[in-house]
Amino acid sequence: MKDGKFLMGKRKNAHGEGTWALPGGHLEFSESWAECAAREVLEETGMHVEKETFIAVTNDFFKSEDKHYITIYMRTDWKDGVPEILEPEKCDSWEWFTLDNLPSPLFLPFINIDKKILRSKL
């Protein structure tokens, strides 16, 4: 979070192509959720975050792609840096949004999260 906004990127070359999603990725072996959140934000955007805290979990079925993911949502606070596209093969752009001004279309896990829970944790 930065100034009441969160960062979303437009996905490409992966499931959910063309949809907007938060920075994220796969949990590494023996990595904590907080470590994963900070690492993924840094790898994808070049930004440093802090105060990683759990928000929620979603159970996401990508039927057309025959994929099933459990998505762990972590809140982080911006520490420093400016969002850069560090994985251009995976993301077209980064932009800041609020819950009242979401882009479209949204990535399935973000559609599945209960916005009341999300709003209460932001």
Domains of the chain: 6-84+102-117 (3.90.79.10)
Given a contact cutoff of 8 angstroms between Cβ atoms, the answer to whether 58 and 21 are in contact is no
Taking residues 65-75, report their average pLDDT: 94
Tell whether the model's pLDDT for residue 64 goes beyond 90: no
**Cβ atoms within 10 A of the Cβ of 112, count?**
15
Whole-prediction pTM: 0.92
Residue-wise pLDDT tens digits, 8-59: 999 998 788 999 999 999 999 999 999 999 999 999 999 999 999 999 999 9
DSSP at 5: B
Given a contact cutoff of 8 angstroms between Cβ atoms, the answer to whether 75 and 1 are in contact is yes
